[in-house]
Chain A
Amino acid sequence: MKLSKIFISLLFTATVVMTGCLSQSFFDDYVYKESISVKVDAINLMGKAAEDYATHQKDVEQLIASVQKIYEYEKGRPKNVESIKMWEAMLNPDKNLLAGFMKRWEDKGKMGKVFVTEAQKQITQAFDIIIGLETNKLKKENVNSFLAN
Protein backbone atom coordinates (compact mmCIF):
# COMPACT_ATOMS: atom_id res chain seq x y z
CA MET A 1 0.00 0.00 0.00
CA LYS A 2 2.82 2.40 0.95
CA LEU A 3 4.58 1.56 -2.31
CA SER A 4 1.36 2.27 -4.19
CA LYS A 5 1.04 5.68 -2.53
CA ILE A 6 4.63 6.54 -3.41
CA PHE A 7 4.06 5.37 -6.97
CA ILE A 8 0.88 7.39 -7.30
CA SER A 9 2.58 10.51 -5.92
CA LEU A 10 5.48 10.09 -8.33
CA LEU A 11 3.17 9.52 -11.26
CA PHE A 12 1.13 12.59 -10.41
CA THR A 13 4.19 14.80 -9.93
CA ALA A 14 5.75 13.55 -13.16
CA THR A 15 2.57 14.34 -15.06
CA VAL A 16 2.28 17.85 -13.67
CA VAL A 17 5.95 18.57 -14.37
CA MET A 18 5.71 17.02 -17.84
CA THR A 19 2.68 18.96 -18.84
CA GLY A 20 4.18 22.14 -17.45
CA CYS A 21 2.59 25.51 -18.14
CA LEU A 22 0.31 26.38 -21.02
CA SER A 23 1.90 27.94 -24.09
CA GLN A 24 -0.94 30.22 -25.19
CA SER A 25 -3.03 32.86 -23.41
CA PHE A 26 -6.62 32.12 -22.44
CA PHE A 27 -9.61 33.40 -24.36
CA ASP A 28 -10.38 36.98 -23.33
CA ASP A 29 -13.93 38.28 -23.64
CA TYR A 30 -12.86 41.96 -23.63
CA VAL A 31 -10.47 41.43 -26.55
CA TYR A 32 -13.08 39.46 -28.47
CA LYS A 33 -15.80 42.11 -28.09
CA GLU A 34 -13.49 45.09 -28.66
CA SER A 35 -11.96 43.46 -31.76
CA ILE A 36 -15.41 43.02 -33.29
CA SER A 37 -16.39 46.58 -32.38
CA VAL A 38 -13.24 48.10 -33.87
CA LYS A 39 -13.58 45.91 -36.98
CA VAL A 40 -17.06 47.34 -37.67
CA ASP A 41 -15.85 50.93 -37.08
CA ALA A 42 -12.80 50.39 -39.29
CA ILE A 43 -14.70 48.96 -42.25
CA ASN A 44 -17.34 51.71 -42.02
CA LEU A 45 -14.69 54.44 -41.91
CA MET A 46 -12.76 52.89 -44.80
CA GLY A 47 -15.97 53.14 -46.80
CA LYS A 48 -15.61 56.92 -46.64
CA ALA A 49 -12.15 56.92 -48.21
CA ALA A 50 -13.53 58.07 -51.56
CA GLU A 51 -14.09 61.41 -49.74
CA ASP A 52 -11.44 63.89 -48.59
CA TYR A 53 -9.22 62.63 -45.80
CA ALA A 54 -9.26 66.01 -44.04
CA THR A 55 -13.01 65.63 -43.41
CA HIS A 56 -12.43 62.33 -41.59
CA GLN A 57 -9.05 62.90 -40.00
CA LYS A 58 -10.42 63.01 -36.44
CA ASP A 59 -12.36 59.78 -37.03
CA VAL A 60 -9.18 58.10 -38.29
CA GLU A 61 -7.24 59.27 -35.23
CA GLN A 62 -9.98 57.96 -32.91
CA LEU A 63 -10.07 54.62 -34.68
CA ILE A 64 -6.30 54.17 -34.47
CA ALA A 65 -6.44 55.12 -30.77
CA SER A 66 -9.07 52.40 -30.22
CA VAL A 67 -6.84 49.82 -31.88
CA GLN A 68 -3.86 51.01 -29.82
CA LYS A 69 -5.87 50.43 -26.64
CA ILE A 70 -6.53 46.83 -27.63
CA TYR A 71 -2.84 46.41 -28.52
CA GLU A 72 -1.71 47.74 -25.15
CA TYR A 73 -4.15 45.42 -23.38
CA GLU A 74 -2.88 42.47 -25.43
CA LYS A 75 0.72 43.29 -24.51
CA GLY A 76 -0.21 42.82 -20.86
CA ARG A 77 -1.44 39.25 -21.40
CA PRO A 78 1.15 36.48 -20.93
CA LYS A 79 1.90 33.92 -23.66
CA ASN A 80 0.22 36.10 -26.25
CA VAL A 81 3.00 36.52 -28.83
CA GLU A 82 0.99 35.82 -31.97
CA SER A 83 -1.94 38.14 -31.12
CA ILE A 84 0.47 40.95 -30.18
CA LYS A 85 2.32 40.62 -33.50
CA MET A 86 -0.99 40.69 -35.38
CA TRP A 87 -2.03 43.96 -33.75
CA GLU A 88 1.43 45.40 -34.40
CA ALA A 89 0.96 44.63 -38.09
CA MET A 90 -2.45 46.34 -38.08
CA LEU A 91 -0.93 49.45 -36.45
CA ASN A 92 2.15 49.56 -38.69
CA PRO A 93 1.65 52.24 -41.39
CA ASP A 94 4.30 50.53 -43.53
CA LYS A 95 2.34 47.29 -43.69
CA ASN A 96 -0.61 47.36 -46.08
CA LEU A 97 -3.22 46.66 -43.46
CA LEU A 98 -5.37 49.06 -41.39
CA ALA A 99 -2.84 51.78 -40.48
CA GLY A 100 -1.26 51.40 -43.91
CA PHE A 101 -4.63 52.06 -45.55
CA MET A 102 -5.22 55.17 -43.42
CA LYS A 103 -1.73 56.47 -44.28
CA ARG A 104 -2.43 55.94 -47.97
CA TRP A 105 -5.73 57.80 -47.62
CA GLU A 106 -3.92 60.70 -45.94
CA ASP A 107 -1.19 60.78 -48.59
CA LYS A 108 -3.59 60.64 -51.56
CA GLY A 109 -6.38 62.78 -50.10
CA LYS A 110 -9.04 60.42 -51.46
CA MET A 111 -9.11 56.99 -53.14
CA GLY A 112 -10.99 55.19 -55.90
CA LYS A 113 -14.21 53.37 -55.00
CA VAL A 114 -13.19 49.99 -56.43
CA PHE A 115 -9.87 50.11 -54.59
CA VAL A 116 -11.66 51.02 -51.35
CA THR A 117 -14.05 48.07 -51.74
CA GLU A 118 -11.16 45.67 -52.34
CA ALA A 119 -9.17 47.10 -49.44
CA GLN A 120 -12.20 46.72 -47.16
CA LYS A 121 -12.27 43.00 -48.03
CA GLN A 122 -8.58 42.71 -47.14
CA ILE A 123 -8.92 44.48 -43.80
CA THR A 124 -12.08 42.48 -42.98
CA GLN A 125 -10.05 39.33 -43.55
CA ALA A 126 -7.24 40.66 -41.33
CA PHE A 127 -9.66 41.26 -38.47
CA ASP A 128 -11.26 37.86 -39.01
CA ILE A 129 -7.84 36.20 -38.69
CA ILE A 130 -7.16 38.02 -35.41
CA ILE A 131 -10.63 37.29 -34.02
CA GLY A 132 -10.40 33.72 -35.29
CA LEU A 133 -7.31 33.04 -33.19
CA GLU A 134 -8.91 34.60 -30.11
CA THR A 135 -12.09 32.52 -30.39
CA ASN A 136 -10.05 29.31 -30.56
CA LYS A 137 -8.13 30.01 -27.36
CA LEU A 138 -8.94 27.81 -24.38
CA LYS A 139 -11.32 29.24 -21.79
CA LYS A 140 -9.78 29.36 -18.33
CA GLU A 141 -12.78 27.64 -16.72
CA ASN A 142 -12.28 24.62 -19.00
CA VAL A 143 -8.65 24.10 -18.04
CA ASN A 144 -7.43 21.94 -15.16
CA SER A 145 -6.50 24.23 -12.26
CA PHE A 146 -2.99 22.76 -12.11
CA LEU A 147 -2.31 24.13 -15.59
CA ALA A 148 -4.36 27.30 -15.28
CA ASN A 149 -2.10 28.75 -12.57
Chain B
Amino acid sequence: MADLNKLMDDMQAKIQNYALTNLPANVKEATTDGAVFLKETKDKLADWAASAEKGEMTADDVKWLIQSQNALKDLNALKQTGLAKIKVDAFQNQLLTIVVNGISSLIPK
Protein backbone atom coordinates (compact mmCIF):
# COMPACT_ATOMS: atom_id res chain seq x y z
CA MET B 1 0.00 0.00 0.00
CA ALA B 2 2.94 2.29 0.74
CA ASP B 3 4.21 1.57 -2.79
CA LEU B 4 0.86 2.57 -4.25
CA ASN B 5 0.75 5.82 -2.27
CA LYS B 6 4.23 6.66 -3.45
CA LEU B 7 3.27 5.80 -7.01
CA MET B 8 0.19 8.03 -6.85
CA ASP B 9 2.23 10.91 -5.40
CA ASP B 10 4.86 10.45 -8.07
CA MET B 11 2.33 10.34 -10.92
CA GLN B 12 0.50 13.37 -9.58
CA ALA B 13 3.73 15.36 -9.47
CA LYS B 14 4.58 14.38 -13.07
CA ILE B 15 1.11 15.25 -14.34
CA GLN B 16 1.08 18.61 -12.56
CA ASN B 17 4.50 19.47 -13.88
CA TYR B 18 3.52 18.59 -17.44
CA ALA B 19 0.26 20.57 -17.25
CA LEU B 20 1.95 23.65 -15.80
CA THR B 21 4.65 23.51 -18.44
CA ASN B 22 2.47 22.88 -21.48
CA LEU B 23 -1.19 23.83 -21.14
CA PRO B 24 -0.95 27.50 -20.04
CA ALA B 25 1.54 28.06 -22.84
CA ASN B 26 -1.25 27.45 -25.34
CA VAL B 27 -3.26 30.36 -23.94
CA LYS B 28 -0.19 32.57 -24.08
CA GLU B 29 0.58 31.49 -27.66
CA ALA B 30 -2.96 32.22 -28.83
CA THR B 31 -2.86 35.66 -27.24
CA THR B 32 0.54 36.48 -28.76
CA ASP B 33 -0.56 35.15 -32.14
CA GLY B 34 -3.67 37.34 -32.06
CA ALA B 35 -1.66 40.45 -31.20
CA VAL B 36 0.83 39.73 -34.01
CA PHE B 37 -2.03 39.30 -36.48
CA LEU B 38 -3.58 42.63 -35.46
CA LYS B 39 -0.31 44.45 -35.92
CA GLU B 40 0.17 42.79 -39.33
CA THR B 41 -3.30 43.91 -40.37
CA LYS B 42 -2.60 47.50 -39.36
CA ASP B 43 0.68 47.52 -41.29
CA LYS B 44 -0.92 46.01 -44.38
CA LEU B 45 -3.80 48.50 -44.35
CA ALA B 46 -1.31 51.37 -44.20
CA ASP B 47 0.69 49.94 -47.15
CA TRP B 48 -2.41 49.32 -49.24
CA ALA B 49 -3.79 52.79 -48.59
CA ALA B 50 -0.44 54.30 -49.60
CA SER B 51 -0.42 52.25 -52.84
CA ALA B 52 -3.96 53.36 -53.64
CA GLU B 53 -3.00 57.01 -53.08
CA LYS B 54 -0.11 56.62 -55.51
CA GLY B 55 -2.52 55.13 -58.06
CA GLU B 56 -0.78 51.73 -57.98
CA MET B 57 -4.00 50.03 -56.89
CA THR B 58 -7.67 50.90 -57.22
CA ALA B 59 -10.10 51.33 -54.31
CA ASP B 60 -11.67 48.07 -55.46
CA ASP B 61 -8.29 46.30 -55.21
CA VAL B 62 -7.84 47.55 -51.65
CA LYS B 63 -11.36 46.51 -50.73
CA TRP B 64 -10.66 42.99 -52.05
CA LEU B 65 -7.43 42.80 -50.04
CA ILE B 66 -9.14 43.98 -46.85
CA GLN B 67 -11.73 41.24 -47.29
CA SER B 68 -8.94 38.73 -47.89
CA GLN B 69 -7.39 39.85 -44.59
CA ASN B 70 -10.72 39.13 -42.93
CA ALA B 71 -10.67 35.65 -44.47
CA LEU B 72 -7.15 35.15 -43.13
CA LYS B 73 -8.39 36.14 -39.68
CA ASP B 74 -10.97 33.34 -39.91
CA LEU B 75 -8.31 30.85 -41.06
CA ASN B 76 -6.11 31.90 -38.18
CA ALA B 77 -8.96 31.35 -35.72
CA LEU B 78 -9.47 27.84 -37.12
CA LYS B 79 -5.76 27.17 -36.73
CA GLN B 80 -5.85 28.29 -33.08
CA THR B 81 -8.82 26.00 -32.41
CA GLY B 82 -6.96 23.11 -34.00
CA LEU B 83 -3.78 23.86 -32.05
CA ALA B 84 -5.72 23.95 -28.77
CA LYS B 85 -7.15 20.50 -29.52
CA ILE B 86 -3.66 19.19 -30.33
CA LYS B 87 -2.37 20.50 -26.99
CA VAL B 88 -5.16 18.68 -25.13
CA ASP B 89 -4.43 15.49 -27.08
CA ALA B 90 -0.72 15.77 -26.25
CA PHE B 91 -1.61 16.21 -22.58
CA GLN B 92 -3.92 13.18 -22.63
CA ASN B 93 -1.20 11.14 -24.30
CA GLN B 94 1.34 12.16 -21.68
CA LEU B 95 -1.14 11.45 -18.88
CA LEU B 96 -1.79 7.95 -20.16
CA THR B 97 1.92 7.30 -20.62
CA ILE B 98 2.65 8.39 -17.03
CA VAL B 99 -0.09 6.10 -15.67
CA VAL B 100 0.85 3.12 -17.83
CA ASN B 101 4.54 3.44 -16.93
CA GLY B 102 3.64 3.85 -13.28
CA ILE B 103 1.47 0.75 -13.24
CA SER B 104 4.06 -1.22 -15.21
CA SER B 105 6.61 -0.45 -12.50
CA LEU B 106 4.39 -2.23 -9.96
CA ILE B 107 4.11 -5.41 -11.96
CA PRO B 108 6.72 -7.89 -10.76
CA LYS B 109 9.06 -9.00 -13.54
Contacts and interface: CB of A to CB of B under 8 A. Distances in A.
A115 B61 contact: yes
Interface stretch (A58-66, A67-75, A83-91): A83-91
Nearest to A24: B85
Interface of A: 4, 7-8, 11-12, 15-16, 19-20, 22-24, 79, 82-83, 85-86, 89, 95-97, 100, 104, 111-112, 114-115, 118-119, 122-123, 125-126, 129-130, 132-133, 136-138, 142-144, 146-147
B75 A86 contact: yes
B30 interface: no
Contact-residue bracket for chain B? 35 or more
A95 B73 CA distance: 12
A144 B78 contact: no
Nearest to B94: A144
Contact of B93 (A119, A133, A136, A144): A144
B88 A23 contact: yes
Interface of B: 1, 4, 47-48, 51, 56-58, 61, 64-65, 67-72, 74-76, 78-79, 81-83, 85-86, 88-90, 92-93, 95-97, 99-100, 103, 106
Contacts of B47: 118
Contacts of B72: 97, 122, 125-126, 129
B92 A147 contact: yes
B82 A82 contact: yes
A82 B99 CA distance: 30
A142 B3 CA distance: 29
B96 A104 contact: no
